[in-house]
Amino acid sequence: MGSDLIDTDIGCDTVTLVFRDPATGYDAYNQPNVTERTVDKGPLADPPTPGCAFMFAARPTEEMDESGSVAVIRHASVRLPVDDDTTALAATDAIQFGGRTYEMQGPAVVISTLDAGADHVFAELQDMYDTGHGENVTVTPNGGRDDDGNVLSGGAPFDVVAFTVEAGNTVARFGPSGEVSEAAYTIVLPLTTPLSDDDWITVRGKTGRARIQKHLTQYAGRQRMVVLVSTVSGGEK
């Protein structure tokens, strides 16, 4: 069947539905495993189906996500033909269009009219991606100490680009050893960064120990590691 014979009352776009079906077990971050399954909808699908209408809701905006890093957010919506696939879209699924993956913002909704009944399936979508900004920090693995208290090497220092560096409280204390400065930074790193609690991180010329929390999200490529770095400098040399 040629695409010119396909019903295009809704639109002429072709999209890919991404279903995340439950699977057994858990991944490395203790999240339930899923199996991704894709289904194309539109005149370019094989076989072709009635067309879809993909629409951007507004201009992209820059917002701070839950991890504290700045992201570009693009809101969109899509109208789909009514069938067993489109009506099964859940809040955990996604839709691909134009080379990007847009996450569902709730389950799909069947829109009906008084004269025709079920008219189309409607879904609200959102995509998030990094602004491209970043700041270099240096990680030095902590090897602990030997029985005599000597510092052991945990490996060679390495640089990593943090998505965000936020300065926290800075305190100056005075004592018999002189002035001591304490500073705290919150940095956001890729989740795959080989970093452990108590490793050393140098940020903006100050070095401190790391305390880690993982920030997991449904958005592909936006898994994050949120690290608190506490530094102390000054005092007796």
Last residue of a domain, one of 130, 147, 180: 130
* 191/214 Cα distance (integer angstroms): 7
For residue 69, report the phi and psi dihedrals to the nearest 5 degrees: -95, 150
Last residue of a domain, one of 101, 130, 159: 130
Least Cα distance to 41 among 89, 81, 84, 100 occurs for: 81
Domain range enclosing 70: 3-130
Query: Are residues 125 and 164 located together in one domain of the fold?
Result: no
Q: Which residues pair with 159 in a beta bridge?
A: 138
Query: Are residues 174 and 97 located together in one domain of the fold?
Result: no
Q: Which residues pair with 96 in a beta bridge?
A: 16, 101
Residue 151 sits at the vertex; the CA angle it makes with 147 and 152, to the nearest 5 degrees, is 85
Query: Are residues 53 and 29 located together in one domain of the fold?
Result: yes
CATH of the domain at 180: 2.40.10
Query: Are residues 125 and 157 located together in one domain of the fold?
Result: no
Query: Are residues 92 and 194 located together in one domain of the fold?
Result: no
**Taking the model in full, what pTM does it have?**
0.69
Query: Are residues 97 and 205 located together in one domain of the fold?
Result: no
List per-residue pLDDT tens for the chain, 237 residues long.
Answer: 444 444 557 999 999 999 999 999 988 778 888 999 999 999 999 999 999 999 998 777 766 665 556 667 889 999 999 999 999 999 999 999 999 999 999 999 999 988 778 889 999 999 877 666 788 999 999 888 777 777 677 889 999 988 888 877 666 666 565 555 677 888 888 888 899 888 999 998 888 889 888 776 666 566 778 888 887 665 454
For position 3, what pLDDT does the model report?
43
Query: Are residues 97 and 76 located together in one domain of the fold?
Result: yes
* Measured CA distances, 192 to 62, 189, 195, 215 (Å): 24, 8, 8, 12
Query: Are residues 124 and 153 located together in one domain of the fold?
Result: no
Query: Are residues 111 and 15 located together in one domain of the fold?
Result: yes
Query: Are residues 73 and 184 located together in one domain of the fold?
Result: no
Number of domains in the chain: 2
Query: Are residues 35 and 13 located together in one domain of the fold?
Result: yes
Query: Are residues 20 and 114 located together in one domain of the fold?
Result: yes
* 108/195 Cα distance (integer angstroms): 40
CB atoms within 10 A of CB 24: 7
Last residue of a domain, one of 69, 97, 130: 130
